[in-house]
Amino acid sequence: MDSVELCRELAIIIISAEVFGLLSEKLNIPRVAGEIIAGLVIGPSLLNVVQSSDFISVLAELGVIMLMFTAGLDTNMSDLRETGLKALLIACAGVAVPLVCGTLLYMAFYGFGAVGTAQFCQGIFIGTILTATSVSITVQTLKELGKLSTKVGTAIVSAAVIDDVIGIIVLTLVIGTNNAGTSIGTVLLRTALFFVFAFAAGHFLLKLFRFLDRKWPHTHRISVMALAVAFLFAFLAEYVFGVADITGAYAAGVILCQLSDAGYISRKVDVNSYMIFSPVFFVSIGLQTNIRDIDSTVLLFSLAFVGVGLITKVIGCGGMARLLGFSSNDALKIGCGMMTRGEVALIVAQRGMALNVIDQKFFSSVILLIIVSSILTPIILKMFYLNKSFPHRQPSVQS
Amino acid sequence: MDSVELCRELAIIIISAEVFGLLSEKLNIPRVAGEIIAGLVIGPSLLNVVQSSDFISVLAELGVIMLMFTAGLDTNMSDLRETGLKALLIACAGVAVPLVCGTLLYMAFYGFGAVGTAQFCQGIFIGTILTATSVSITVQTLKELGKLSTKVGTAIVSAAVIDDVIGIIVLTLVIGTNNAGTSIGTVLLRTALFFVFAFAAGHFLLKLFRFLDRKWPHTHRISVMALAVAFLFAFLAEYVFGVADITGAYAAGVILCQLSDAGYISRKVDVNSYMIFSPVFFVSIGLQTNIRDIDSTVLLFSLAFVGVGLITKVIGCGGMARLLGFSSNDALKIGCGMMTRGEVALIVAQRGMALNVIDQKFFSSVILLIIVSSILTPIILKMFYLNKSFPHRQPSVQS
């Protein structure tokens, strides 16, 4: 990797993100959507002046880790305690409804298969792609709107973190029906162990940081060490416990959100994010996508897939939220906030193709879902938040 | 490159930099020296828990670019105008003295060679290795001491930037005697063109940024766009004009230092630096070094090489500074500030080995010079600044 070439790419990425971010602000849509479009414009879809590279992807991944760390840091602990169980139920409904409906959609297009047949496995895989929310876009949108540290914001973020875990469990289960991979028990055990570890380590870390905080309050030292802990947790989560790295970073943030300097740390990490990592991450979503690759033979299926993908999250998560006592407006915000799909959907699709369970052509449907949900979700969320009177209709409660 | 593995490495790098930085503060030596030692401790020299990788090197390079950009931003323009010509003369003397003395040192150890012989070329190459100052460590030390924006600080930084350029011209000249590479005329022309370009583009950029500054003063936008310009200049300098990327970043900083928001931009870029990039850069100097590799057969030569490397910069730069009217204390600061060697020395040595002009074994001498100068310079500079009465002796003025 050539650092000079990277300077060129970073300059283009940052400037285009800024220009499209500004344009989207003028059009009253969130910056995030603008930055993703910037990636589509400068990437292989249109101008092709920047291509996604290993280095850009890794910088983007560091960006997501920082984003989830600050989401954790900005958590209101009493809100989290109050919404924790609710978030679990919302996440479960938000996995179940898209999984079932995605499977049925595939069968509606390509024929019904009995349990255990290849046809059934393909359907289940398509359903599994729809399970995991990509929370980063919603986090950034809620941040822009100043609504991240609200009860609804906390519910969305924690439900999305939980549904990542459930998504991975479902994937393991589905792969398990195909080959002898990791057992579902192992996955559940490792996930449980991670949370036990985070709880125990969190206790010790809080003591250490409270000491640092007393000795050097409001110093570089606190924020630098906190960021190092975020990276450490991200590593341990994925490497030792097989949980996603962003779950680790979020857990580190939730632990450290109890410090009096949590806001200070969050602001410092935030400067890092918006200067380089966050534009790189959102632009890279656009860069990784080549609109020209979208396969027209599955266009009708793709459109239905996108529709089902979006609506089932609203029904599943929003419906459950309404059942749990959120107002219908808040339930809709939660449902819509959970619509975004991202890297986990791509991972599931890639895993499925590698195992020859699903066909290459469905990849374009996944890409379309990621783009549409990434651009639509921030716009819809902003509409809900800025136009509080809109809409008051009750969501269908079917989960 | 695996982002999870990178998280582990970043966590270790940041924590060790912080711990050794704190220790060195307690021992009253600059943090930078501590961070370099941290790299030696966690790297292949001792614990070997982190190895230098492509990704770490590129992150480190981005770190140097940001460091030089803030050095440019913190420039006092009237100081630069006043010291500009002086810096040029200091740089010339600081190239000539080490070049001549390094050549003579080689010949004293390995036999005299007439002009044009292989022996002569080897001597000249060893001399060339000693020409270019690595300014980043001095910049960081001056920053820590709050002395970067002084007349002495400006003289050191601009002289070091100029001697990088001269160093590259000398290298081209030396290589030109061996093969038909780029001609010296081309190098001079491209360098001149870069400064013409920077001057012209600077005029336009200042207008653009003054507009942005009026419209959105003190906003993310200004600092993000400024950083993008730094990356762009770094790219253009190296790719189009064949000048070092850090020279481009420094030029971008000098242009934007005339903005009223220059201090604001500098502070924001600085947060980025100290959170990730700067520890990665200084620790990576230690990581790239394996003390165990130091070749004992050239130990005596290496020690003499290090001694000559350090003393000739003090004599050349310090002596010229004294001749130009700096006080003897300031002249010593300038001479010592220019002692550090870094990546350019490594590049020259590698180029020499690739061309079979110098032997592999001299690489260890270069590494030793880099370590010793990187650790000694901050300590000596701090001594000079904190103990103003010390030392009052006149430096030898022989350049």
Which of left, alpha, beta for B390 (phi over 0: left; psi -120 to 50: alpha)? Answer: beta
Judge: B4–A245 Cβ closer than 8 Å, yes or no: yes
Distances (CA, A) of A113 to A121, A122, A131, A178: 8, 9, 21, 15
Judge: A14–B227 Cβ closer than 8 Å, yes or no: yes
- Closest Cβ opposite residue B268 in set A228, A239, A271: A271
Instruction: Report residue A106 CA to chain centroid gap.
Output: 24
Mutation for testing the A interface, residue in B6, B7, B227 having most A CBs under 10 Å:
B7
ipTM greater than 0.85: no
**In this structure, which amino acid lies at residue A301?**
F
Enumerate the residues of chain B whose CB falls inside 8 A of the CB of residue A234: 4, 7
Is the pLDDT at A366 greater than 90, yes or no?
Answer: no
pLDDT for B106: 93
Q: Region A27-44: what's the mean pLDDT?
A: 85
**In this structure, which amino acid lies at residue B147?**
K
Low-confidence ranges of chain B (pLDDT < 70): 1, 176-183, 388-399
Distance in angstroms (rounded) separating the CA atoms of residues A46 and A35: 15
Judge: A275–B227 Cβ closer than 8 Å, yes or no: yes
Among chain A residues, the shortest Cα distance to B62 is held by: A3
pLDDT for A178: 59
Least confident interval from A42-46, A104-108, B170-174? B170-174
Task: Tell me how long chain A is.
Answer: 399
Distance from CA of B113 to the nearest CA of A (A): 38
- Structure token pair of residue B310: 């350090």
Highest mean pLDDT among A102-116, A285-299, B314-328: B314-328
Distance in angstroms (rounded) separating the CA atoms of residues A58 and A130: 24
pLDDT digits (tens, 9 = 90+) for A334-353: 999 999 987 778 778 877 87
pLDDT for A361: 81
Q: Is B234 on the interface with A (CB under 8 A)?
A: yes
Nearest to B46 by CA among B362, B277, B290, B282: B290
The number of beta carbons lying within 10 Å of the beta carbon of residue A233 is: 31
Q: Which residues of B347-373 are buried (b: 16+ CB within 10 A; e: fewer)?
A: bbbebbbeeebbeeebbbbbbbbbbbb
Distance in angstroms (rounded) separating the CA atoms of residues B272 and A34: 24
Are the CB atoms for A246 and A234 separated by under 8 Å?
yes
pLDDT digits (tens, 9 = 90+) for A258-275: 999 999 999 999 999 999
- Closest Cβ opposite residue A11 in set B5, B22, B235: B235
Distance from CA of A278 to the nearest CA of B (A): 11
Assign 3-class secondary structure to B100-148. Answer: HHHHHHHHHHHCCCCCCCHHHHHHHHHHHHCCCCCHHHHHHHHHHHCCC
Q: What's the sign of the alpha-carbon dihedral A141, A145, A149, A150?
A: negative
Judge: B14–A224 Cβ closer than 8 Å, yes or no: yes
Q: Is A211 on the interface with B (CB under 8 A)?
A: no
Mutation for testing the B interface, residue in A1, A2, A4 having most B CBs under 10 Å:
A4
Q: Is B47 on the interface with A (CB under 8 A)?
A: no
Q: How confident is the model at residue A176 (pLDDT cuts 50, 70, 90)?
A: low
| Predicted TM-score of the model (pTM) | 0.83
Q: Is A387 on the interface with B (CB under 8 A)?
A: no
Q: Is B258 on the interface with A (CB under 8 A)?
A: no
Q: Region A172-191: what's the mean pLDDT?
A: 69
Q: Is B252 on the interface with A (CB under 8 A)?
A: no
Mean pLDDT of chain A: 86
Distance in angstroms (rounded) separating the CA atoms of residues B329 and B340: 19
Farthest-apart Cα atoms in chain A, separation: 67
User: How many cross-chain Cβ pairs, A to B, lie less than 8 Å apart?
Assistant: 131
3-state secondary structure of A177: coil
Is the pLDDT at A214 greater than 70, yes or no?
Answer: yes
Nearest to A32 by CA among A290, A309, A382, A387: A382
pLDDT for B182: 61
